[in-house]
Amino acid sequence: MSGASFPVALAYSITSVVDAARSVGVLDALAVDGPASAAQVATRCGLDRRAVLVLVEALVALGLIETDGAGIYRIGSSPLMGRELWAGLEQTLRSGEPAQPHDTSSSAAREYPARVEELARQTTDDARLVAELLAAPNLEIFDLASGAAQWSRALVVREPTCRVTAVDLPEVLETTRRLVGSNGAAGRFTFLAADLTQADLGESRCDLALVGNLCHLLGEEANRALLLRVGRLVRPGGRVAIIDVLPGDQTDVVVKTLYDMSLLLRTSRGGLYALAAYAEWLSEAGFVGIERTILGGTPVRSVIVARRPR
């Protein structure tokens, strides 16, 4: 489903399937009442069993729901398809304000404690690749907006001598502590409660600063200010790694467009920033040797690595 030639008839068919699934209650039956077989969904909604079986398989193909392969269906976990998020699209189109804001401290404290574990599962493969790229013995790491700490946990698994300071809002760090503990890595982590849009992170405290899945939530000036603070945080010779979605990496135009719209629903000033923008901010913060590695996933993420000169 790539490119500007995406067939109008196909788009109409997809929207018709989704509208019908919502109208007859199939999505609510799975979201509210929990995973079920097609027959159970049909009973819950008072629908024809054969028709529902075809419908749920179509919804699986579209990524709206998932199946365990044994005939049980549940609401999907795609970052582009959250029902609650997209339900606010009309409101955002009318007001210009995000219907489900995730970019303020108060909204992040409300939204992310329940979301970060699923977001981590979606980026497990990317986290392994980041660890392969960045791991080295005895690194002091600051994991900024750590969430589920998937990036730093993967680094500690690959190189157990690393030590991590996980930085996030106090409400989110409760989840971070639990996940780090369940991973058997608690002894390598300390936790710092802070609002990264305002916090003074200090100077020369780490060899590696991780900024994962954060910059797309912020406006240009907020990103510039954040990376200036990161520049002071990283020791001479140390590195910063920004893991995020870059617009030029998206080979699927439909995915890129939907991700842009999801940011409209979630943020007041956020967006997808080109490598040139990151290079400008990092240079202003005193970093050199900027390199980008494309990771993968849907949407496609990249890791941008730069270092502080000695």
- Could you tell me how many residues make up the chain? 310
pLDDT > 70 in the chain, percent:
95
Q: Answer for the pair 303, 243: CB distance below 8 angstroms, yes or no.
A: yes
Query: Terminus-to-terminus CA distance in the chain, angstroms?
Result: 47
CA distance 164 to 173: 13
- pLDDT value of residue 248: 86
Mean pLDDT of 135-155: 97
| Lowest-pLDDT choice from 127-141, 243-257, 277-291 | 243-257
CB 57 within 8 A of CB 66: no
pLDDT at 11 over 80: no
Residue 2, pLDDT > 60, answer no
Sorted by where each begins, the domain ranges of the chain are 8-76, 105-307
pLDDT at 7 > cutoff 80: no
Q: Which residue has the higher pLDDT, 285 or 253?
A: 285
Residue 254: CA atoms inside 13 Å, Cβ hemisphere, count? 12
Average pLDDT over the chain reads 90
**Both tokens of residue 130?**
């980041």
Superfamily grouping for domain 105-307: Vaccinia Virus protein VP39 (3.40.50.150)
User: Does the structural domain 8-76 have CATH classification 1.10.10.10?
Assistant: yes
Identify the pLDDT of residue 164: 98
pLDDT at 234 over 70: yes
In sequence order, which residues have a C-beta less than 8 Å from that of residue 227 and are 6 or more positions away? 211, 240, 281, 282, 284, 285
